[in-house]
Amino acid sequence: MRRTVALFTSALLVAVLPSLPASAAPEPPSPAPGWSVAGDMIRWTAPAPMPPTDAGVEFWEGDRILGTARESADLRTFTLDAKPANPAALQVRSAGRRLDVAEPAPPASLAAPELPALLPQAQADPGKPGPYATSTGEYALDPIKLPEYAAPIEMDAVVVAPKDAPGKRPLVLFLHGRHFTCYSKTNPNQIGMSWPCPAGLTAVPSHRGYLKAQQLLASQGYVTVSISANGINAQDAATVDAGAQGRSSLVRHHLTKWADWAGAARSSAPAAVKSAPPADMSKVLLVGHSRGGEGVNRAATDSLNPPPGDTGFSGPVRWNIRGDVLIGPTIFGHNPQPDVPSVTFLPGCDGDVSDLQGQMFVDQTRGVSRGAALHSALYMVGANHNYFNSEWTPGQAEAPAFDDFWPGEQPDAVCAPGTATRLTADQQQTAGATYIAASAHLFLARDESVLPLLDGSGVRVPSADPARVLSHAVGGDRKPFVVPSLDTQASGSARVCAQVSTDPAAACGAVRSPHLVRFRFASSQPERQSIALKWTAAGQAAVVSPAAPVSLHGSKELALRLAVPANAPAARFAISVTDQSGQKRSLGTVSVTGLPGTARLSALWAQEVRVPLPAGVGKATALELVPESASGEALLIDAHGWDKGLVPVVPARLGRVDATVTSVDEGNSGTVTHNVAVTATGNGTRTVRLFYNDTTNTPVTKLVTLKPGEHRVDVPITYTANTKWGPSTRYPVGVVAIDNAVIGAAFGALLVRDDDPAPKLTVTPVADSVSEGGALRWKLTLSEAADSSFTLVGLPLAPGVGELSTTDVDAEWFFQNSGEEALPSRPLSSTGLQLWVSVPPGQTSVEVVVPTVTDTEAEGEEQVKLKFEGRSPTGVGFEVTGKVADAA
């Protein structure tokens, strides 16, 4: 589990490579520089180490995702077992952002975008400290073992609590996201992704990064605990769900301890807990940052709808999760818990989860359950991903830290530090703490005075100034009116558009938008539709009709979520509805101004606007939007009848659906089909959508309805077996909830274990002693051809005598294999040189070549020592030594 890497902050997240060429040649064209394709193994090498991201690194072939790549120990090389049909179409993406090409430079004439107008001040200010003094302490319990995690997971936490607060107090639990786990106190550039940390490295205290928010909450009477998840972060790359289930189990283990300590076991609680008031486990708020957001969402689901099988936690649920706060979260599974209220932070300058996929915690709850729980999104202009955690913030962190918003070729007009639209770290943390407190007041204390800050009412809180924070929401006391679907009708300047589609004519557009984030493996999601508006003259009406008349009885206003392009001037629309009698009622006008944005941001985000609904509207059959500007575009996400306040949230008895992982031995011959089970609980009618690939590797999606009494769907996966060695292969399956279901494990797979022995490897010197200018060569020979690439990587070791330096070998060869320049001259063993070598499938030999160059210095004999270790298969390796004499 040991991984250590030198961190180079000058090129953290962007590989500058030429654009990938298109080709119609009959033979697959070669991949672009930085890529290597050998049979069914793909490798991409970044020009500098990339610190681990929460969004992960994905390989794509055009518009088809191939999978999530594995990061190497030095965080420079990423590999995936897959066989692309067109290597020239390979792409590296993270949260929708390309990493393997230079981003386009912004137009030179781009003016600095303006901040959104200052909103009216709210009546409540949850950012003000409360009446209690606070105490801070820590606890460290025995580690726990979880399935899929080889190393035990720590049970460490920091507690901040109010002093002398009477009675039991609500509990707020924080879970940080994915970050490097270890660092060197003597070398600020040395970080690691291991657990436990090896000698010489210290654990990164990511769990101490929310003290500002914890102290504010504790002063207001809440008990807070922030837990460490380094053990999850170091090992989640090998899990099918990127660690969501592991994080949920970790959270539930801590909650179990707090339930014990609030009761009979209080006398045995750690000192930091005993000094705090007892926790009221009927009032628990979970706060998750990045992958921690997806983790606490899964914990909420697992608490309401227990997971099947062994998740590492099997105890009773002795708590009630009243809400989730999700900060720049991932949601790879598109599986929000619809019956637990939530607030999602969307940082406008997020350079990690840059697609702002956390929007799915709001949008994907519609129509799944009763819709009573409030789900709010907060768009924070100028906030990045890391600075919500002070231990990920330069100048505040104990370990190395950096701004995750990557610098690019030119400073970004919105997010470059120092621009009027970018928040400082302190401003961002203050705003974050304020809105976390607002969520606690609403969900735990039922204080609805803070609701306007979260529900799209368009107000601000002074404690968060100067941050511009915009909100919209679904759920609460809302009645769905227009929630676009394939049955929705649109006319005039409107059309129904697909949020996820490979057909440009059907799609909502190609602009980055949090509302258009696709589910992994999905090329189409038919249930996800919006309304695209485009007009070329004022007065060109857009008319939208739901599939059936909708009663708006009891609603005081009509709330619309409307998005206009970034930096667009104010767009005004006259709004009207038509009732079942055919009478059109004018409701008033709304105005939406584009958020500050550049091509690098996901700023096409819907703002909530409202107009009054007169009494007696009854059942509405159509919504009309009439633009007043001469031309423009907009995206209508939905429209709801709205009333002030919340409604009681009674969780529906939703069926829980989980995709499973099925493991089988490959077999020896023929076409083989195995089923991957998608299991379901509950007795009602549950509807889900499945995603997988057919026998031609073409994406397939299927709508499945589980009738009462049905608890399983089988997904057939077909492959061809043989007797040649190859790596184990994973065939993914995904599932998304459509109606009356909640998804636990969104990703399953058929794991086909190769059951054939690996061929034996023989290494023969071809030229292991040459003069300067010659090429050292060794031949690698397999005893028989394999079904997959036989891949090893070689690293230079100090030979103990005169060692070849970076200027003794070909400079281009050295750069291609290390990402470093040859000058200044230094021993090869001190560099990041990696020699990847693969014997392609169907072949039995390949040569390792080290080209040397001549010089005029009399250096005597020099040597290079290379140690090769198998990557696929593992468990093989060898060492070679080459000797180079001075040129004659």
Residue listed under structure tokens 């768009």 = 379
The CATH number of whichever domain residue 28 belongs to comes to 2.60.40
User: Residue 153 falls within a domain, yes or no?
Assistant: yes
Question: Do 673 and 630 fall within a single domain?
Answer: no
Question: Do 673 and 619 fall within a single domain?
Answer: no
Q: Kindly report the three-state secondary structure assignment for every residue of 449-496.
A: HHHHHCCCCCCECHHHCCCCEEEEEECCCEEEEECCCCCCEEEECEEE
Cβ contact 484:533 at 8 Å: no
User: Residue 771 falls within a domain, yes or no?
Assistant: yes
Question: Do 349 and 206 fall within a single domain?
Answer: yes
User: Residue 468 falls within a domain, yes or no?
Assistant: no
Listed residues 721, 753, 785: the one ending a domain? 753
Task: Kindly give the interhelix angle for 244-261 and 291-304, rounded to the nearest 10 degrees.
Answer: 60
Question: Do 347 and 483 fall within a single domain?
Answer: no
Contacts of 846 (CB under 8 A, 6+ apart): 779, 780, 837, 838, 839, 840
The CATH number of whichever domain residue 690 belongs to comes to 2.60.40.2030
Q: How far apart are CA 874 and CA 790, in angstroms?
A: 10
Q: Say which range, 75-89, 103-117, 775-789, has the weakest mean pLDDT.
A: 103-117
Question: Do 202 and 306 fall within a single domain?
Answer: yes
Radius of gyration (C-alpha) of the chain in whole angstroms: 29
Average pLDDT on 627-642 reads 98
Question: Do 700 and 607 fall within a single domain?
Answer: no
**44-85 residue pLDDT tens:** 877 766 777 878 888 888 877 788 887 765 677 788 877 777
* Cβ count within 10 A of residue 147: 12
What pLDDT is stored for residue 406 in this prediction?
83
pLDDT above 80 for 4: no
Question: Do 725 and 789 fall within a single domain?
Answer: no
Residue 650 CB-density burial (10 A; 0-12 exposed, 13-18 middle, 19+ buried): exposed
**673-724 residue pLDDT tens:** 999 999 999 989 999 999 999 888 889 999 999 999 999 999 999 999 999 9
Q: How far apart are CA 471 and CA 20, in angstroms?
A: 39
Question: Do 611 and 713 fall within a single domain?
Answer: no
pLDDT above 60 for 360: yes
Listed residues 615, 642, 669: the one ending a domain? 642
Name the residue range of residue 83's domain. Answer: 4-98
User: Residue 789 falls within a domain, yes or no?
Assistant: yes
Give backbone dihedrals phi and psi of 388, rounded to 5 degrees, phi first: -65, -20
pLDDT above 90 for 819: no
User: Residue 455 falls within a domain, yes or no?
Assistant: no
What pLDDT is stored for residue 106 in this prediction?
57
What pLDDT is stored for residue 45 in this prediction?
79
**395-425 residue pLDDT tens:** 999 999 999 998 777 899 999 999 999 999 9
Question: Do 249 and 210 fall within a single domain?
Answer: yes
**167-204 residue pLDDT tens:** 999 999 999 999 999 999 998 878 889 999 999 999 99
Average pLDDT on 386-394 reads 99
Residue 630 CB-density burial (10 A; 0-12 exposed, 13-18 middle, 19+ buried): exposed
Question: Do 312 and 225 fall within a single domain?
Answer: yes
pLDDT above 50 for 19: no
Average pLDDT on 137-152 reads 98
Q: Copy the structure tokens of residue 815.
A: 């750069």
What pLDDT is stored for residue 39 in this prediction?
60
Question: Do 199 and 344 fall within a single domain?
Answer: yes
pLDDT above 50 for 3: no
User: Residue 217 falls within a domain, yes or no?
Assistant: yes
Question: Do 301 and 284 fall within a single domain?
Answer: yes
| Number of domains into which the chain is organized | 5
Listed residues 715, 736, 753: the one ending a domain? 753
Q: What percentage of residues in the chain have a pLDDT greater than 90? A: 81
What pLDDT is stored for residue 81 in this prediction?
76
User: Residue 579 falls within a domain, yes or no?
Assistant: yes
786: three-class secondary structure by DSSP: coil
Q: Copy the structure tokens of residue 474.
A: 């679904």
The CATH number of whichever domain residue 163 belongs to comes to 3.40.50.1820
Average pLDDT on 568-591 reads 97
User: Residue 174 falls within a domain, yes or no?
Assistant: yes
Contacts of 814 (CB under 8 A, 6+ apart): 806, 820, 822, 831, 833
